[in-house]
Structure 1
């Protein structure tokens, strides 16, 4: 495996109203937007922080209408060989939800699910002449944390260790909510796994966007028509978080270094 294999590289929103979502997230997170045109592909919006892409957005695909899937954020993980990694997901108890295919000039991707049903995208990016600079996870406007709500965190980490090379970093006892398992990629803390709440219908990933202060961000969420589901909560590392729902029903999270 290369050092890039198993690294989160992108996050993407599929939503029922891209114009409304653009207005909401540019206000809440502070992103700017630009459009990316790929021949034969629908309009794609790039959310930018400090002039570089931080996340993407597209219309909810027509073929997914009526399947009971809400608007959602999905992460992309880099893999050395997307075709082989898709097979590895299936061979180890997961599933291939969308077979590998090319995005011209961007890379080759597939949509997969782990054995507990959490969906994620894998991608082998196209080679780049001038790759963007590495930006620290805690930078405002970036993805600051990746969180898996799962029915079995022990099995989940064993699975992701096999397909992505992730390792256990540490455990944090959350009392009645169980153990929060922090995982690492190439020795760097990347995210956490926890037992999903009983009211959560299926295992799923959640993504934390970095903002400068959580209280002001909460007001922007409410003013934009979103709903705070949990928080503000102080977490290890002197950070504050909320979990929220955007006006179209997509689950998202925010993290800040202060109230």
Structure 2
């Protein structure tokens, strides 16, 4: 049986805020093999559950045209006490974009921003989560925060959410730390101050069988290529935009 683990403010979920739920369903179902389930009640709420091989992997939420918020993937961190985490956020220079609210049967959530303004969700579940990690095509495998205010944001996550950061590289040209070390790492923090064209914020990575084929398919489906496929220590990766511009990354894990 998969081991259970207590919350420690690590990525646990992503969802998509989109102005075109049906279009997102078509795009991602063909790209990742996802299945959207949406009964009449969910449709009226502008919400869809998304499954892969019978397991719920994400959800789509309709973006209100009047919200002036761009379509985007949102990363959520699991926390022991969402109210305490929100209080710590305000205490250490962050912002609260959505106050804690209860999701019946699941837990409580909130949306906060770090001192540089990058938003992230908080989730306090009623039950512990599984610790298994899958590299199956279409599953979320990694989340990292890109920031141009590395020291300030790193300090915030340390004191407000209890992160213990370990440097992978700590030069002015490439500064990247992980929450946890080596195989125990669960999230990344990337200094993009030397990359003027990079966008700040959280980025979700999804595993794919073939990065180049996935990029070509994404373009055929109406998506955009933001960063072409390239090799890295962690695998061959690329950054894409879906049909309404929401950015995400894909990675083809190295063969063992």
Under TM normalisation by the shorter chain, which class is it? 0.7 to 0.9
Distance 1:138 1:229, change over 3 A: same
Distance of 1:109 and 1:186 partners within structure 2: 29
Residue 198 of structure 1 is matched in structure 2 by 196
Distance 1:109 1:50, change over 3 A: same
More deviation in 162-171 or 114-123?
A: 162-171
Distance of 2:122 and 2:145 partners within structure 1: 16
1:119 aligns with 2:116: no
Distance of 1:90 and 1:185 partners within structure 2: 28
Task: Extract unaligned runs of 5+ from structure 1.
Answer: none
Alignment RMSD: 2.7
Aligned pairs (5 A) from 1:25-104? 25-35=28-38, 42-61=45-64, 64=67, 67=68, 69-104=69-104
Q: 1:164-208 deviations in whole A, cap 9, x for unaligned?
A: 3222233236884x222222289821222222332356x311110
- Is the 2:11–2:187 Cα contact (8 Å) retained in structure 1? no
Task: Extract unaligned runs of 5+ from structure 2.
Answer: none
Aligned length: 249
TM (norm. structure 1) is 0.86
Runs of 4 or more, structure 1, over 6 Å off, are 36-39
Aligned pairs (5 A) from 1:1-259? 3-35=6-38, 42-61=45-64, 64=67, 67=68, 69-127=69-127, 133-172=130-169, 176=173, 178-184=174-180, 188-196=184-192, 197-200=195-198, 203-237=200-234, 239-257=235-253
More deviation in 139-148 or 208-217?
A: 139-148
TM (norm. structure 2) is 0.87
